[in-house]
Amino acid sequence: MKVSYNNYGKYSSDNYGSHTLVFTDTNRNEFYFSYKTLVAFTCNGNQYVIQNLWSTTTGKHLNWINGGNKKDRLTKEAFEAKYLECFGVKLEAVA
C-alpha cells in the first residue's frame, strides 16, 4: 500500500507543520494527526472529526480540518466506533 503525507493548516514554519500531518492511503482515505494523535479521518469520502479533548492548539488544528464546524464533531466513543466500522480494526484509545 502506498501512503503519502502532507501537512494541513496555516503554520508559516515547516518546524510547526510537522505537528499537523495528514496521511493519504491508496484508497484516498485521509488520516489527520495533531502532534501524534489521530484527530480526524476520511472514509468513503466522508470526514469524521473528534471533539477537542486537548488544548487550544489542537482546537486550532481541528478548526483547520473541518472549518470550525464543532457541532458535527464526534465524541471519543463515536469516533472510535466509526473508525472500527470503516477500517475493521479497533483504534487504540484516543487520549
Rounded Cα distance between 84 and 35, Å, is 22
Residue 9: the pLDDT is 80
Rounded Cα distance between 86 and 58, Å, is 24
Q: What is the pTM of this model?
A: 0.88
Residue 19: the pLDDT is 87
Residue 14: the pLDDT is 62
- Give the residue ranges of the chain where pLDDT is below 70: 1, 11-16, 95
Burial bucket for residue 41 (CB in 10 Å: 0-12, 13-18, 19+):
buried
